[in-house]
Amino acid sequence: MNRDHFNVLIFDLTTGKGEYAQVDGRDQVAGGSGLAALLFTRYGQPNAPWDFPGQPLIFAIGPLTGYFPLMSKTICSFKSPYHNQYTESHGGGRSAMALRLTGLDALVLIGRSPTPCFFEVSSTHFQARDGGFLWGQDVFETGKLLRRMSKGSGHRSILRIGSAGENGAAIAGINVDTLRHFGRLGGGAAMGVKNLKAIIIHGDAILPLPNGNHYAKLFSKVHSQVTASGMMKKYHDLGTPANLKTLNDIQSLPWRNLQATADEAVDCISGERFADEALLRNSACSGCPVGCIHVGFVREKFMDSHRYLYRQVAYDYETIFSLGTMLGVTDRSAVLTILDLFEKAGMDAMSAGVALAWATEATEKGFISAQETLVPLTFGDSAGYRQAAVSFGAGANTFYRLLGQGTLKAAEVYGGKDFACVLGQEMAGYATGEVFFAAQALGFRHSHLDSGAYSYDQQHADKDVNAAVEFLLRDEASRVFMTSMVACLFARNVYTDALLSECLQSLGYDKLADTIPECGRDIQKMRWQTRVATGFQPDSITIPKRFREITTWKGPIDPQYLQSLQTDYGQAILAMAGA
Amino acid sequence: MKILTAPRMDRCIGCHSCSLACARLVHHRLSWDTAGIRIHSSGGLTTGFIAVHCLACAPPPCAEACPTGALVPRKGGGVVVKKKLCNHCGLCAAACPVEAIFIDQEGEPFVCLHCGLCVPSCPHDCLELAEVSSLRLPSPSNSTEPVS
């Protein structure tokens, strides 16, 4: 609270030694996204490859983390194995609150452990411990073992990788507290290459709060807004799976590798059907009373005589899209079962589903066969996808290991680039139109959350390139300030600039409170400069033909408009970054 | 006299809003630990969360263990804490059968005061400040039911 510097722990996995550092720059970079970029500038090596041992794996929180509701996310940044450039991935669970309660603003892990290890940090201790016995264990088993070995149930966060991260898959994620992830762009491999199986963050610090009752009153006001006003209802009611029907209705839901944008079968896997028939319970990130995490259940008969087991699987819109509609799988239990297999392997389920969708169409078109996929792949055949998920997660052969580097990498070897649904990375589930396609292809995280492009598409039938590009840059600057606090972006309608300013002031960050728009733009610029320094070239990013072949509510995609958006947005990013 | 109860923990989503509210409003800290109610994963055969908090023993063994009179039995069960009298020995925490007392690094005890400030923070209504008379069975000497 009210510090003009950042407390950072830098731990070298090569030597097993660490040191605390005080890093200046609070008023310039705020925290979170800004702090992560600053730390990469200091500790990263832009020109060295992602797997160079010296590259940092950074976890950063912001000035509001833990102090206000929904300030519950952590920024993980690293040089991505997916594109060998600087990137961020965002995760929740207990990670942000736990890191806050170590007294740190950021944790920087550099070096490579000589042998597999896991790292523990608290407010008073840190150490790397032998983790050889954990190597090869799946994500869930690793979590169970570490929970037995370390104290602090409920007051710690356990980050770990599975076989995908150990094997260097560029779509390997980092699991956070079982139900959440730093999912995309290969954080799991960035951990695995350091021989780092897991990180346990013990939140045992006791931190002071501001004097007087202003802070408590402000907290209460925000808490009331997020719990009582209904502003967050869509996130805890059906949750993001409500999007399935909404997007299907406007011909924007990708089906069967984006061969269609709507299908009547959506009724089988709509948010309503999941909530009514597969939802077991809700869960929450620490410090968030919304409870948006939807945990579904699968009951599986594994033996005659009515012998059953059950699994609990956290689902979202994105995973139902990637493992449901993209694969033509409309059985709810099957979707959750396939999702569970990728969770076990620690593979990003969004990317994995989109990659399997490409593999299925590539099979249909004769580019590959069961010789590569080990099991015949057919849209809608969930049994085949279950077997494929096991092979894919384990990197069972050359084909799956290559596919784990990204769909386009496999398509370069086997053919089928035209129908690879890749926009910078495997697409998110929004076939809303040209603005979203250009935005994800060029966006900083190649994420649907980089900006509100999918929303812009739904509100604009016009084709004003300048207006769209101006919106993308302006919206990103606003979001990047949020991710520097670090807020859950679900709260973006609650935390207006005025409220953020009030919150920052209550904790003594007066300068930040007065400079939110400028600070957001500065961080946006610095973050892009960091990305550009590691090789970002918008011209090198292609948008595959498939994205120009579809029809949305606005009609057929306009290739010329898409091309203009891509060109102008790319130039605008470089101009903004001063490159 | 009312005491804090957690009768609907099967609704808990693990957001920690209750313990953070206690730490914030009662103890003026940001902490998972310095709170009279603390949330842990339940693990075991069932999954979910448990709330660790004072169950309002009467008489309270923590007060009996306290050598300085810092913990005084509270009417209705539980204790009142007189911080100035505490010698930070930690015997109260050791005496608590349900590990409801947290001792910080300076040896200061943190235990539920049954004030109820945490109750409205719970988004799922897991907690309740309840009349102790509605919860406790009559003492055996007053019971008219045969013991089977």
Residue A160 within a domain: yes
Q: Are residues A249 and A320 in the same domain?
A: yes
Decide if A373 is inside a domain.
Answer: yes
Would you state the pLDDT for residue B133? 85
- The residue range of the domain holding A548 is 432-483+515-577
Would residue A196 count as lying in a domain?
yes
* pLDDT band per the 50, 70, 90 thresholds, residue B139: low
Residue B46 lies in a domain: yes
Which H or E run contains A12?
strand A5-12
Q: pTM for the complete prediction?
A: 0.95
CA distance A503 to A487: 12
CA distance A330 to A270: 9
Of the candidates B122, B139, B143, the residue with the CA atom closest to the CA atom of residue B16 = B122
CATH number at residue A130: 3.60.9.10
Map residue A22 onto helix, strand or coil.
Answer: strand
pLDDT for residue B147: 44
Using a CB-CB distance cutoff of 8 angstroms, which residues of chain A are in contact with residue B105? 206
Task: Report how many domains make up chain A.
Answer: 3
A–B: how many Cβ contacts below 8 A?
85
Q: Does residue A87 lie within any of the structural domains?
A: yes
**Shortest CB distance from A216 goes to which of B16, B24, B31?**
B24
* Residue B141, pLDDT above cutoff 50: no
Same domain, A446 and A416: no
CB of A386 closer than 8 Å to CB of A376: no
Residue at A223 is within a domain? no
Pick the closest to residue A198 from A151, A154, A137 (CA basis). Answer: A137
B-chain CB neighbours of A291 within 8 Å are: 13, 15, 123-124
Domain count, chain B: 1
Cα pseudo-dihedral B30, B36, B39, B40, rounded to 10: 110
Q: Say if B147 falls within a structural domain.
A: no
Whether B32 sits inside 8 A of A290 (CB atoms) is: no
Residue B42's pLDDT band (cuts 50, 70, 90): confident
3-state secondary structure of A159: strand
State the angle between helix axes of A332-345 and A382-394 in degrees (0 to 180), rounded to the nearest 10. 10
Closest of A374, A338, A401, A428 to residue A169, by C-alpha: A401
Report yes or no on B148 lying in a domain.
no
CA angle A192, A349, A120 (to 5 degrees): 35
pLDDT tens digits, chain A, 579 residues: what are they? Answer: 567 899 999 999 999 999 999 999 999 999 999 999 999 999 999 999 999 999 999 999 999 999 999 999 999 999 999 999 999 999 999 999 999 999 999 999 999 999 999 999 999 999 999 999 999 999 999 999 999 999 888 899 999 999 999 999 999 999 999 999 999 999 999 999 999 999 999 999 999 999 989 999 999 999 999 987 677 888 889 999 999 999 999 999 999 999 999 999 999 999 999 999 999 999 999 999 999 999 999 999 999 999 999 999 999 999 999 999 999 999 999 999 999 999 999 999 999 999 999 999 999 999 999 999 999 999 999 999 999 999 999 999 999 999 999 999 999 999 999 999 999 999 999 999 999 999 999 999 999 999 999 999 999 989 999 999 999 999 999 999 999 999 999 999 899 999 999 999 999 999 999 999 999 999 999 999 999 999 999 999 999 999 999 999 889 999 999 999 999 999 999 999 998
State the sign of the Cα–Cα–Cα–Cα dihedral A481, A486, A489, A490.
negative
Q: What stretches of A167-270 show up as alpha helix (H) in DSSP?
A: 187-192, 214-228, 233-236, 243-249
Contact B24 A219 (CB under 8 A): yes
Residue A118: in which H helix or E strand, if any? strand A117-121
Is A209 within a domain? no
Shared domain check, A86 and A48: yes
Alpha-carbon distance of A182 to A174, in angstroms, equals 5
d(CA A19, CA A40): 17
Secondary structure E strands in B74-137? 79-81, 102-103, 109-110, 128-131
* Together in a domain, A113 and A195: yes
B17 vs A101, A155, A289: nearest CB: A289
pLDDT, tens digit, for every residue of B74-112? 999 999 999 999 999 999 999 999 999 999 999 999 999
pLDDT tens, residue by residue, B122-134 = 999 999 999 988 8
Domain assignment present for B89: yes
Same domain, A352 and A318: yes
- Nearest Cα of chain B lies from the Cα of A35 at a distance, in angstroms, of 22
Which residues make beta-bridge pairs with A252? Answer: none
Residue of B24, B26, B32 to mutate, interface with A, max A Cβ within 10 Å = B32
Query: In this structure, are A178 and A315 located in the same domain?
Result: no
Q: Which domain holds residue B107?
A: 2-133
Q: How far apart are the first and last CA of chain A?
A: 35
pLDDT in tens, B9-35: 999 999 999 999 999 999 999 999 999
CA B58 to CA A468: how far, in whole Å? 68
Residue of B nearest to A143 (CA): B43
Q: Which of A202, A222, A257 is the last residue of a domain?
A: A202
Residues A252 and A386 placed together within one structural domain of the fold: yes
Residue B67 lies in a domain: yes
Which residue's structure tokens are 């740190």?
A104
Provide the CATH number for the domain around residue B80. Answer: 3.30.70.20
Q: Tell me: do A530 and A569 sit in the same domain.
A: yes
Do A194 and A267 belong together in one domain? no
- Tell me which chain A residues have a C-beta less than 8 angstroms from the C-beta of B15: 284-291
Instruction: Give contacts of B32 with chain A, Cβ < 8 Å.
Output: 97, 101, 154-155, 203-204, 286
Asked, for residue A321, whether it belongs to a domain, the answer is yes
Do A453 and A341 fall into the same domain? no
Torsion angle of alpha carbons A183, A378, A338, A444, nearest 10°?
A: 10
* CATH number of the domain enclosing A328: 1.10.569.10
- HSE at residue B9, side-chain half, CA atoms within 13 A, is 20
In a domain, A224, yes or no: no
CA distances, A65 to each of A95, A286, B48 (Å):
10, 10, 25
Q: Of A66, A203, A227, which has the smallest distance from its Cβ to B123's Cβ?
A: A227
User: Pick from B14, B38, B48: which is nearest to A284 by CB?
Assistant: B14
Examine residue B36 and state whether it is found in any structural domain, yes or no.
yes
Q: Is residue B55 part of a domain?
A: yes
Per CB-CB distance under 8 Å, the chain B contacts of A153 are 40-41, 43
Asked if the Cβ–Cβ distance from B41 to A205 is below 8 Å, we say no
Domain boundary among A202, A220, A252: A202
Q: A202, A225, A260 — which closes off a domain?
A: A202
Tell me the mean pLDDT in the region B63-72. 98
| Both structure tokens of A194 | 């350091």
* A3, HSE (Cβ side, Cα atoms, 13 Å): 18
Q: Based on the domain organization, do A334 and A441 belong to the same domain?
A: no
A102 to chain B: which residues are within 8 Å by CB? none
Following CA atoms A464, A467, A468, A474 in sequence, which dihedral angle do they give, to the nearest 10 degrees? 180
